[in-house]
Structure 1
């Protein structure tokens, strides 16, 4: 039989929508995370095997739910578990995830809030979200966190065990509890996007973060009382602004390009338009301010650095972290002169929190060059390159150093922009609002 290329695509599309619903429903009914994931995976495998001959069903998500449910019933029956679990599974309608009467949308929210519970370490929350909600393979998660697959498997197992043993409720918190927990959920999505945004990250993670942000923004208003979704909206806008430049961030030879070097015709202007529209409903929290900063860069003209600096001033009042201080100093240097930027940068580095961080040295190099001391700037760019986290960043900084001492450079230079940290660093709290 000739393989039908449409089947894998149909399975992938159905999985993106149905996987968290299936896993969430089975966890709710059985309390067994591994069983839920295994049955969901087996349903996807069955679809890849059967759909080429039977055709893609009219309701692929319902087919997957029914198949996963039947597999769970078989496993539980062979294990001779209590009758109540089998009865609960048996009453799931064959309409599957499309049936709101069984609470499937709430199951997705329950799953998100359980995976992101503050009782779990932040790295475990991120990993569990990727594995359970996004269906990302454990080896891919391990690579994102720079650990072995066996280590990540143990971390995931410990997280699930803690949920069971600590009695972490599988539910969406209500009222003030929801307001308190929501920033933690958004923080996990921010880290997911970070890993997809970084030069050495996993691009698919950024797409998953955008998908989950959209999902949250859709489902939270269905709760009663509905929470304020301003920061969810701001986070989604930030993701869209940043991701809109993904095709233009590298030259054909793989070099990282600064904002001014990028071919803006390659930006996703539809995503930028959507993000700008979302800003009308954004809040006044950190993610919304970062989105407004990104909006100033998403233009065909010159960046309004005074506007960027004003946003960083507001962001600094809410999050006076070293990385925000670094970004703020850089913005002030471009808005009001390099001397002011260097003064703020010196203050940001005074406590030692930015020691060894290449972007702090690169920011000093850029502002020093704007003062006219090109020899000093070249030395600083080389120092930053020696601290770089990836070959692409190192090469970009060495190119800047070469340009400052008169060596040929491929393109004109632009502002050094502080990127969001790696997935591992971001879980340690290294937040930033990049312009690259």
Structure 2
């Protein structure tokens, strides 16, 4: 591995501390190494996606809403820091875990996100990344069974991944949530994820991953699209925006509000993001805005937003689906 080679290149002075965690899993050790607090948060996330997730630098840049040149610089600095600070290759001991685990949860979630909708290639999904993220989330939850957010992440991934079989058709093309055959959803994963979430919610005030898991649970319990509890989902996104604000959360909240209260409400929320220079590179912003503009009757605005979303889409299956969705929405 690139990172392990870099760590072993330098000196042979003091041996690194022994791994006292009892966890014999090289991938989890690698995640904790990439997420060491000596590294800045942006560097931790970028390095984990590159080294553990196997993403190419342009893919990492897209995932983190930044440019390729910035990402190359960030990765180089992170690797140098690992060598200079002699960051050990190990899972932290139990007394160190509370200060380390939440950065790890964040990057495991991003690895899953890349698998859920691959940023490039011909296929919508990267099942290998989805499975690996869930496996790592299980390991972290086993390490910290009383950590509500570790359990919340595992619940969120299970409840989201339960829909995987229904998310593509026989040709591998994406199937929108409203069109999915819910009989193909993995009910065992739904039951397990719901039980883990209920346990997590009993451990204390909910954090971001528990809130996301609750949103996924509301989708999972709806027998059909029209039965979805959009006001409750919109309220949960509002809570998520309060405790973990980000452009990604705002885009999802806008989509939920549009379903609950109409497209103009969602569009008003999206308008507040336009001053953020990162947002022009964020494909879901343009795709969501295009759909809401089409629903509000602004065909020209929707067409422009769809064009920008398609232009930003590196995944061939998703690009084809967006093109078809644009044709259906605009009749062009």
| Maintained 8 Å contact 1:128/1:159 | no
1:232 paired to 2:156: no
Instruction: Measure, in 1, the Cα distance between the counterparts of 2:85 and 2:215.
Output: 41
Equivalent-residue separation in structure 2 for 1:163 and 1:189 (angstroms): 20
| C-alpha contact 2:241 2:249 (8 A) present in aligned 1 | yes
Superimposed CA distance per residue, residues 19-45 of structure 1 (whole angstroms, 9 cap, x where no aligned partner): xxxx9xxxxxxxx956xx9xxxxxxxx
Superimposed CA distance per residue, residues 362-381 of structure 1 (whole angstroms, 9 cap, x where no aligned partner): 21222223224446434533
Shift of residue 305 of structure 1? 0.7
CA distance in 2, matches of 1:269, 1:164: 46
SS in 2 for 1:300: coil
* Residue number in structure 1 paired with 2:65: none
C-alpha distance in structure 1 between counterparts of 2:79 and 2:301, whole Å: 52
2:286 maps to which residue?
A: 361
Partner of 2:37: 118
Asked if 1:347 is matched to 2:266, the reply is no
Give the aligned partner of residue 300 of structure 1. Answer: 223
Q: CA deviation at 1:358?
A: 2.8
Q: 1:180 to 1:377 in 2, by over 3 A?
A: same
Q: Distance in 1 between matches of 2:290 and 2:110?
A: 28
- Candidates 265, 285, 299, aligned match of 2:207: 285
Q: Is the 8 A contact 1:378 1:402 kept in 2?
A: no
> Does the Cα contact within 8 Å between 2:49 and 2:55 map onto a contact in 1?
no
Tell whether 2:312 aligns with 1:387: yes
Q: For 2:143 and 2:248, how far apart are their aligned partners in 1?
A: 32
The superposition leaves residues 326-371 of structure 1 with CA deviations (integer Å, 9 ceiling, x where unpaired) of 1111211111122211111111223333124332222122222322
Q: Does 1:262 align with 2:180?
A: yes
Equivalent residue, structure 1, for 2:193: 275
Distance in 1 of aligned mates of 2:271 and 2:75? 41
1:212 counterpart (119, 129, 136): 136
The separation in 1 between residues aligned to 2:291 and 2:223, in whole angstroms, is 22
Cα offsets for 1:162-207 (capped at 9, x unmatched): 54541324451555x5323211111121122122111446320110
Consecutive unaligned residues of structure 2, counting only runs of 5 or more, are: 62-73
Q: Which piece of structure 1 moves more, 365-374 or 108-117?
A: 108-117
Q: Deviations for 1:307-339, whole angstroms, at most 9, x for unmatched residues? A: 111111110011221121111112111111222
Change in CA separation of 1:403 and 1:360 when aligned onto 2, cut-off 3 Å = same
User: SS at the partner of 1:119?
Assistant: coil
Partner secondary structure for residue 280 of structure 1:
helix
Which protein, 1 or 2, shows the higher relative CO under an 8 Å CA cutoff with sep ≥ 6?
Answer: 2
- 1:128-175 per-residue CA deviation (whole Å, 9 max, x = no partner) reads 445xxxxxxxxx55599589xxxxxxx999977754541324451555
The 1-side partners of 2:243 and 2:231 are apart by 19
Contact map agreement 1:112 1:129 (CA 8 A) in 2: yes
- Distance change in 2, residues 1:255/1:282 (3 Å): same
Q: TM-score, normalised by structure 1?
A: 0.59
1:145–1:395 Cα change, 3 Å: closer
Pick aligned residue for 1:168 from 87, 93, 100: 87
Residue aligned with 2:22, SS = helix
Partners of 2:111 and 2:130 within 8 A in 1: yes
**Gapped runs of 5+ residues in structure 1?**
1-22, 24-31, 38-80, 86-101, 131-139, 148-154, 222-227, 408-436
Contact 1:144–1:202 (CA<8 Å) still a contact in 2? no
From the CA coordinates, give the structure whose radius of gyration is larger.
1
Larger displacement relative to structure 2 (259-268 or 229-238): 259-268
Judge which range, 347-356 or 252-261, deviates more: 347-356
Within 2, Cα distance between the matches of 1:322 and 1:146? Answer: 17
